[in-house]
């Protein structure tokens, strides 16, 4: 994909990497003022988007709490799996220190590996939810500003 620096037009028809979605060239140099103005939302659309994003943001604390709870549960399950794995290693390696048995259990025990994977997935889901919550907050700030500008623009 290459972009013409003068017109801003995308010059080849490649797809967006990792998808089959084609890029749509946006050539602002060839648009008149009415076409550019039609690209902006109406005051009603901006207000509706702001209301919707606030509604989504209001559900975020409960969703984040659910992900935090799932992460705590996965961490507790991992701790238990490591302890049980180290205990099983005691039968095979009675003179091995507990720290080494725990490490060996992490490396060899399938239940510990599954618990680690579950913990990692729970952590990633929580981080994704936090990022999504921050993105919604940024969107609300943008929509609030856009909404305020549209209201003053349409009053006169």
Residues in the chain: 156
Domain range for 88 is 42-155
Identify whether residues 110 and 83 lie together within a single domain. Answer: yes
pLDDT score of 115? 96
Task: Give the per-residue pLDDT at 107.
Answer: 92
46 and 21 co-located in one domain: no
Q: What's the number of domains the chain is made of?
A: 2
Let me know whether 11 and 63 are in one domain: no
Same domain, 32 and 48: no
Q: Are residues 11 and 59 in the same domain?
A: no
Same domain, yes or no: 129 and 63: yes
pLDDT at residue 81, rounded to an integer: 95
In this structure, are 5 and 51 located in the same domain?
no
Determine whether 39 is exposed, middle or buried from the number of CB atoms within 10 Å of its CB (0-12, 13-18, 19+).
exposed
Whether 53 contacts 31, CB under 8 Å: no
CA-CA distance, 131 to 113, in Å (whole number)?
Answer: 27
Q: Are 51 and 35 within one domain?
A: no
pTM for the whole structure? 0.65
Residue numbers in the chain where pLDDT is lower than 50: none
Q: Which of 21, 22, 26 is nearest to 9 (CA)?
A: 26
Same-domain status, 71 and 117:
yes
What are residue 27's phi and psi, to 5 degrees? -105, 85
pLDDT tens by residue, 138-149: 989 988 888 887
């Amino acid at each position: 994909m290459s972009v013409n620096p003068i017109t801003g037009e995308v010059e080849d028809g490649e797809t967006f990497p990792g998808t089959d979605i084609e890029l749509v060239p946006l050539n602002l140099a060839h648009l008149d003022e009415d076409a550019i103005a039609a690209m902006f939302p109406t005051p009603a659309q901006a207000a509706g988007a702001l209301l919707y994003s606030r509604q989504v943001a209001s559900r975020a604390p409960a969703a984040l709490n659910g992900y935090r709870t799932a992460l705590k549960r996965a961490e507790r399950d991992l701790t238990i799996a490591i302890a049980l794995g180290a205990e099983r290693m005691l039968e095979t390696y009675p003179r091995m220190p507990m720290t080494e048995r725990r490490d060996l259990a992490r490396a060899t025990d399938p239940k510990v590996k599954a618990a680690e994977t579950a913990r990692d997935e729970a952590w990633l889901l929580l981080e994704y939810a936090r990022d999504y919550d921050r993105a919604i907050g940024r969107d609300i700030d943008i929509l609030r500003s856009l909404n305020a500008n549209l209201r003053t623009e349409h009053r006169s």
